[in-house]
């Protein structure tokens, strides 16, 4: 019994530490995006897709609440392959931050286009057209799966794919062709 409590306590600590890390990460990224927005606007950038931005905010907030609730409602357990999903999350974070650092002040959670500015083709953009979207998609799937929260993983992964394929990427492509 003592060993079971110890395992549960470690799982609970890991769970809340990961949740706190992701919340802190999102808050810092929103601050960075706000700063980059000010810079972009001061340089004459035009925003596209403002009307759909809230859908991503709802998706990410729902994802966070979803895997936390589903995990706790399901007696908080690690998936049998939790280390694989954790590795996938770490790989996604490496890709995501590589994309963010490559874009520098051009990175944002919104779509800003500076007229005449060419798309970035260095860093991960040499290999993948939308590395940040790939990384976020992996994250939306992997984190809930660490804790066996497959409903949140499935629903949010599908919702993210629908938003990206149906709205966001076409809007970015349209913005690039209109510049």
CATH of the domain at 35: 1.20.120.1630
Give the domain range for residue 164. 2-178
Between these two residues, 124 and 177, which has the higher pLDDT value? 124
Distance CA 63, CA 57 (A): 10
pLDDT class of 61 with cuts at 50, 70, 90: very high
Q: Quick check: helix, strand or coil at residue 177? A: helix
Say whether pLDDT at 74 is over 90.
no
Distance CA 60, CA 66 (A): 9
pLDDT digits (tens, 9 = 90+) for 135-158: 999 999 999 999 999 999 999 999
pLDDT digits (tens, 9 = 90+) for 76-129: 999 999 999 999 999 999 999 999 999 999 999 999 999 888 899 999 999 999
* Structural domains counted in the chain: 1
pLDDT class of 6 with cuts at 50, 70, 90: confident
């Amino acid at each position: 019994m003592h060993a079971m409590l110890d395992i549960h306590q470690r799982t609970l600590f890991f769970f809340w530490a990961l949740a706190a890390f992701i919340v802190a990460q999102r808050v810092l990224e929103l601050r960075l995006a706000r700063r980059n927005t000010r810079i972009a606007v001061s340089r004459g950038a035009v925003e596209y897709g403002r009307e759909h931005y809230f859908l991503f905010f709802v998706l990410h907030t729902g994802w966070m609440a979803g895997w936390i609730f589903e995990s706790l409602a399901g007696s908080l357990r690690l998936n049998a392959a939790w280390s694989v999903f954790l590795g996938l999350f770490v790989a996604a974070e490496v890709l995501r931050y590589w994309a963010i650092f490559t874009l520098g002040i051009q990175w944002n959670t919104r779509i800003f286009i500076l007229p005449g500015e060419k798309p970035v083709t260095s860093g991960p953009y040499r290999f993948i057209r939308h590395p940040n979207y790939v990384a976020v998609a992996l994250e939306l799937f992997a984190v809930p799966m660490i804790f066996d929260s497959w409903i949140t993983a499935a629903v949010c992964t599908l919702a993210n794919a629908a938003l990206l394929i149906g709205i966001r990427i076409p809007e970015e492509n349209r913005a690039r062709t209109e510049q």
